[in-house]
Amino acid sequence: MSEHSMIEARPLPDITDVAAPFWEATRRHELVVQYCAACNTAQFPPEVSCTECGAPDLTWRPVSGRARLYSWTVAHPPLLPYFAARAPWPVVAVELEEGPRMVSRLIDVPIDDYAFDLPLEVAFEDIDEEISLVVFKRAGG
Ligand SMILES: [Zn+2]
């Protein structure tokens, strides 16, 4: 690999043991979050126990994929080289219908159209053989 391509390489998530089922699901283009067996709270990001009640009994369940735009920011340089080359790079927080929030990216919405509570639905961006990122697009789009 050339030095140039290493510098330009897109930073990707480290797949930890606790998050592995999430990434296995995204490979299948399925969005899952953890549910607590004790209090039924849906949570994301993945944890070893429930952030609401502390119970260790968590199961992964598919969610609807429906969400609303909760907040966003637009990143400008200085950034890591991959993102600097593509700046400005919007970063969004979405709130899933089931409650948890995720940091993600919108794939088909110009920044000027961003609005609080904009209805969204999940999509997947295949990066390589192992990783598919969760992104969002306009609902019904
Ligand atoms: Zn709980």
Distance, in Å, from the CA atom of 120 to the CA atom of 139, rounded to the nearest integer, reads 4
CB 80 within 8 A of CB 109: no
Ligand 1 centroid to residue 41 C-alpha, Å: 6
Ligand 1 centroid to residue 35 C-alpha, Å: 8
Ligand 1 centroid to residue 40 C-alpha, Å: 6
Percent of the chain past pLDDT 90, that is, above it, reads: 84
Ligand 1 centroid to residue 100 C-alpha, Å: 13
Distance, in Å, from the CA atom of 29 to the CA atom of 27, rounded to the nearest integer, reads 5
Ligand 1 centroid to residue 24 C-alpha, Å: 23
pLDDT by residue (tens digit) across 79-135?
A: 999 999 999 999 999 999 999 999 999 999 999 999 999 999 999 999 998 899 999
Residue 26 pLDDT more than 70?
yes
22-38 residues labelled b (16+ CB within 10 A) or e (exposed): bbebbeeebbbbbbbee
Q: Is 82 exposed, middle or buried (0-12, 13-18, 19+ CB in 10 A)?
A: middle
